[in-house]
Amino acid sequence: MKEEKRQREEAAIECRQVRYSHRKKEILKGIDFRVRSGEITVLLGKNGSGKTTLFRCIAGIRRLTGGEVRLEGRSLQEMKAAERSRRIAMMPQSLPLLHIRVDELVEMGRSPYLGFGGKLSERDRAIVQRALRLTDMERLASEAVKTLSGGERQLAYLAMVLAQDAKLLLFDEPTASLDTEYRSRVYTILRQLREEGYALAVTMHDLNDALAIADRIVVLENGDKVFDATAAEFAQSDLPERIFGQETVTATSKRGERVTMFRPLSEEKESGHKRI
């Protein structure tokens, strides 16, 4: 039990007082942030709160102006780019329409492992096939990325991220603009990855989706961390109303289960807030 706990702790990513400034503006103001193996941590916050910037700092896309990011007890600043890419994979919001096939896109996830010449080994190909299978994209492997629907393209890029075979996965708004079917498929995959022991961090805007998949919820506001606890504790806090303008309600499902959800504040409550 102690050994299992130690391994889980070592596999976590940890941000210690992470700061980032751009053009003399402080975007991140000393963020402590941790993602553990076998958990989904959802990062919430309004636009401009610093969510994407924090992910880019963790992934090494942005250089910290203060603090430290550690993985398995090592500072990421000490790692070369290729090693960092083998340990951390990030799926950004913007997904380009590349003029390549789906399988070629997914193979790009193996880039951090390829030596001179960039030839895929049998193991590389097996990992690519597993990523295609996990995302149900095997059937579209020979299709051009540019011909895919929005949901299919999202799954193709998700497969590329999985092919990177990193144990820390960062997803920046992975279901933005997706319909209910594809959102559900993405969340099912994320839950499966959690069961396999991956450490997952996801930025989101939809509070109900966050509550449905998160083990922990972290809230950023103007570059500061203002909340870090379980999803249940988030639902019981005043943050949904104070920051996001959502009220917490409890309803009964068709199976007779009590379900907690969020909905926009009523006009009466909003006007009450305005009077204050």
pLDDT, position 9: 46
Please list the alpha-helical segments (H only) found in 108-238: 122-134, 150-163, 180-195, 207-213, 231-236
Instruction: Classify strands 216-221 and 39-44 as parallel, antiparallel or unpaired.
Output: parallel
CA dist 248 and 263 (Å) reads 7
pLDDT of residue 1: 43
Q: What is the pLDDT of residue 268?
A: 47
Q: Left if phi > 0, otherwise alpha if psi is -120 to 50, otherwise beta: which for 23? A: left
- Please state, in angstroms and rounded to a whole number, the distance separating the CA atoms of residues 196 and 19: 32
The identity of residue 123, as a single letter, is: R
Which pLDDT score, from 0 to 100, does residue 270 have?
52
Contacts of 148 (CB under 8 A, 6+ apart): 102, 140, 156
Cα–Cα distance, 85 to 191 (Å, whole number): 22
Low-confidence ranges of the chain (pLDDT < 70): 1-11, 115-117, 267-276
Q: Tell me which DSSP letter residue 262 carries.
A: E
Task: Residue 39: count other Cβ atoms within 10 Å of its Cβ.
Answer: 18
Q: How far apart are CA 98 and CA 139, in angstroms?
A: 19
Q: How many CB atoms lie within 10 A of CB 53?
A: 20
Residue type, 21: S
Fold of 2-244: Rossmann fold (3.40.50)
The model's pTM: 0.89
**Do the Cβ atoms of 122 and 202 come closer than 8 Å?**
no
Residue 108 burial class via C-beta count within 10 angstroms: exposed 0-12, middle 13-18, buried 19 and up: middle
The pLDDT score that the predictor gives to residue 269 is 57
C-alpha–C-alpha distance, residues 116 and 79, integer Å: 20
